Amino acid sequence: MTERYLLRNVRPMGGISTDLLLVDGYIAKSAPSMIPDESTTVLDAHNQLLLPGLVNAHAHIDKNLLGLGWHKNQTPEPRRIRDYVDNERRLRRELDLSTRTQSAHEVRSAIAAGVTHIRTHVDIDTDAGLAHVEGVMATREEFKAAMTMQLVAFPQSGMLVRPGTVALLEEAIKLGADCIGGLDPSTVDRDPVRHLDVVFGLADRYGIEVDIHLHEPGTLGAFAVELIAERTRALGLQGRVTISHVFCLGMIDDAYLNRLIDLLLENQINIMSLGSGVSEFPPLKRLHDAGVTLCTGSDGVRDTWGPYNSFDMLERVKFLGYRCGFRKDEEVEFLLSVATHGGAKVMGAADYGLAVGCRADLVVVPGDTPTQAVMDLPPRTYVFKAGRLVATEGRCLV
C-alpha cells in the first residue's frame, strides 16, 4: 500500500511555513493549509525546521565499538597511520567484533539522527578477508528501505605491501562494492604510481567510482593529487573520483594550491573533508568558491582511533565550523550544504532536495534557523526516507 503523509507546518531551511504532501516516496505538493484525504497520515511539525536528509559521505560503519561499553582510548606510539591501523587490527581480533552487528547498530543510530545516505569505506585485508564486506552488505540489505548506502572496497592495511589484498578488493567489487578505495600511496604502499595504477585499473575494468584516503602531507600529498588527476583524465573518470581528507591542500603554498584547484576542476574531482583535529585541512570556502564539489562525513565513530566522531552530521557541521573558525550563520549554513547537497551530489543521489518532485528524504528538527539546529543538536522530531517515516523524537523506527 502506498504511504501518504501530510506534513503540516514545516519551515524549509527556516523559511516560510508550509504543508508538504508526500506520495509514493516523493514530495508531491507544497502549499499552506492543505486538506488531506482519509488515506493520508497527518503529522503536525508546529513550525519546526525542515532540512533535506543528511549525507554522511565518509563513514567506516564496519568497525565501531557502539553498544560495547566505553572503550578506553589509547593512541599508539608512534602515531603514524600504520600504527593506528595495526592497533585497530589487533583490538578487532581481541574483541572478536561482528561487523554485521556493529554496522547495523551504527546505521540505526544514523537514521535516528536524520542521516539518509551513507558512503562507507569497508576494510579489506588479508586477516579479515571479505568478512567486513559481507557484514556491511547484509546490513545494507536489511536497511535498504531506510538508508541509501554505498560501499567502498578499502585497503586499510595497505595494498601492495600486503600481497593478496588486490585479489580480495576485486572479489569485493564482484560482491557489490560501489567504489574502489586507496590509501596513502607513498607512505603506506611506498609506490604511488603502482598503487594508483592498480586502483584506477580496477575502477576502469569494473566501471565503478574511486574514493581515496589521502593523509599525506605537503608536497608529497600534492604529488599524489597530481597523479590522481592524471589518471582521472586518462580514463575519462571525471566526476567519479573523490579524494578524502587531502590534508596537503591546507599545507602547500598559494601558487601550488591554485594549480591543484585547476586540476580538481578540470577533472571534476570531489573533496571530502571533516576538519580532523590532528592536521591542517583543505580551505573549504576557497575550494567551494572555485567550484569544487565538497562533501563531509563522520569517519570512524566510537572506534579505536579516537573518541570525538559522531554519526550525527549536524554535529559534524558544528565541529567543522569550529575548526574553520566560522562564526557567521551563513558560514555554518554553507557547511550544512556540504553535509547535504554536496554529499548527495558526490553519491549521485538523483532528485535530492526540498523542492516538489524531489525524493522525500527529510528531517524535521526544532530550531528557528538551520544554524540554531547545528548549535543545539536537538533530537530529530521526524525523519523520512523515500516518503516513509523512519525515525521520530530521536528514535529509529526500523
Binding site for Zn ion (CB under 5 A): 299
Amino acid code (one letter) for 323: R
| Least Cβ distance, residue 394 to Zn ion (angstroms) | 26
- Least separation in angstroms between residue 162's CB and Zn ion is 18
Between 236 and 307, whose beta carbon lies closer to Zn ion?
Answer: 307
User: Closest distance between Zn ion and the C-beta of residue 272, in Å?
Assistant: 9
Q: Which one, 189 or 299, has the nearer CB to Zn ion? A: 299
Q: How many Cα neighbours within 13 Å face the side chain of 162?
A: 20
3-state secondary structure of 318: helix
The DSSP call for residue 328 is S
Q: In this chain, which residue has its C-beta nearest to Zn ion? A: 299
Name residues whose C-beta falls within 8 Å of residue 309's C-beta, 6 or more positions apart in sequence.
Answer: 274, 298, 299, 300, 301, 302, 303, 316
Q: How far is the CB of 227 from Zn ion (least distance, A)?
A: 20
Nearer to Zn ion, 212 or 390 (CB): 212
Task: Give least dist CB 165 to Zn ion, A.
Answer: 17
Q: Smaller CB distance to Zn ion: residue 43 or 317? A: 317
Biggest alpha carbon distance in the chain?
Answer: 65
Asked whether the beta carbons of 381 and 393 are under 8 A apart, the reply is yes
Taking CA 107 as the corner, what is the angle to CA 246 and CA 388, rounded to the nearest 5 degrees?
115
Question: Strand, coil or helix: what is 83?
Answer: helix
Q: What minimum distance in Å lies between the beta carbon of 213 and Zn ion?
A: 5
Nearer Cβ to Zn ion, position 123 or 299?
299
Output the nine-digit C-alpha cell for 380: 530529530
Nearer to Zn ion, 299 or 333 (CB): 299
Instruction: Indicate the residue among 299 and 312 with the shorter CB distance to Zn ion.
Output: 299
- By C-beta, is 123 or 333 nearer to Zn ion? 123
Residue 255 CB coordination number (10 Å): 7
Q: How far is CA 201 from CA 122, 195, 206, 236, 296, in A?
A: 19, 10, 9, 12, 26
CB of 245 to Zn ion, least distance (A): 7
Angle formed by the axes of helices 192-206 and 218-234, nearest 10°:
30
For residue 249, count other CB atoms closer than 10 A to its CB: 27
All three cell numbers of 241, joined, read: 573520483
Query: For the sheet containing 18-23, what is the strand order?
Result: 26-31, 18-23, 4-12, 41-52, 362-365, 382-385, 388-392, 395-396
**What number of residues does the chain have?**
398
* Owner of C-alpha cell 562525513: 297
Nearest distance from C-beta of residue 183 to Zn ion, angstroms: 9
